[in-house]
Amino acid sequence: MNPVIFCVKNEVSIQDGIFRYLLQFVQPEKRERILRQRIKQNADHMLIGDIVAKVAIKRVFGIEIARQRIGYGEFGKPYLLDHPYVHFNISHSGKYVVCAVCDVPVGIDVQKITAYHPKVAQRICSDEELEIVKGSDDVQSELIRIWTRKEAYLKRKGDGICGMGTLNMSSDSVYSYRFGDCWISLSRV
């Protein structure tokens, strides 16, 4: 099956009562991570991501939310403990939370286009990619496009997101879309 992408736009803080209500549907370990967030928007987006993933899995695979037990790989990639054929991934940036669901390993990343910083570009890009970015008409957008492609690819693999600057990946497994002031990239097997 093709991956199914769910996207939520969140521009306002979740009210405390609604936040507490939604937290009851989150597993204890994830709940603790959400509550440790110092920035309210990050906590909101982590909570929204968890809820969206559960709803997406129910819609795509028909697995009731109460039966979805989520585990985490060594580098934090989520998976369903009792359903090895279900794959999903979550990302958030700016005002967007995205989730991809599929029957094969999948990774998704969304990044808001921000100001260009040469040191960030050097950390993320290979020398060849850095030349592409510098030669672009929109260096900020091109850097974020490359960033999301690499992060989606690494998230699909579940091996962590270190070493982006030296990463050589196959471009045929990553699809990128400009979405307003963001780039969304999806990687699948």
- Indicate if the pLDDT at residue 171 is higher than 80: no
pLDDT score, position 172? 64
Mapping DSSP onto H, E and C, the string for 12-62 reads CCCCHHHHHHHHCCCCHHHHHHHHCCCCHHHHHHHHHHHHHHHHHHHHHHC
More confident call, 172 vs 185: 185
Backbone angles phi, psi at 187, to 5 degrees: -120, 135
Whether residue 115 contacts residue 140, with contact meaning beta carbons closer than 8 Å, is answered with yes
CB within 8 Å of 10: residues ≥ 6 apart: 44, 45, 48, 95, 96, 97
Please give the model's pTM, rounded to 2 decimal places: 0.93
- Quote the pLDDT of residue 36: 98
Residues 133-170: tens digit of each pLDDT: 999 999 999 999 999 999 999 999 988 887 788 887 66
If one compares 144 and 74, the residue with the highest pLDDT of the two is 144
- Can you tell me the distance from the alpha carbon of 17 to that of 26, in angstroms, rounded to the nearest whole number? 15
Strand order in the sheet with 96-102: 4-9, 96-102, 87-93
Residue 113's DSSP bridge partners are none
How far apart are alpha carbons 175 and 14 in whole angstroms? 31
What crossing angle do the helices spanning 40-61 and 16-23 adopt, rounded to 10°?
A: 50
pLDDT digits (tens, 9 = 90+) for 26-47: 999 999 999 999 999 999 999 9
Taking the C-alpha atoms of residue 47 and residue 121, their distance in angstroms, rounded to an integer, is 30
Mean pLDDT (the chain, rounded) = 94
Give the type of residue at 123. R
Long-range CB contacts (< 8 A, 24+ apart) of 17-25? 19/43, 19/44, 19/47, 22/47, 22/51, 23/47, 25/50, 25/51, 25/54, 25/65
Q: What is the pLDDT of residues 10-24, one digit of tens each?
A: 999 999 999 999 999
Q: What are the residues whose beta carbons fall under 8 Å from the beta carbon of 135, sequence distance 6 or more?
A: none
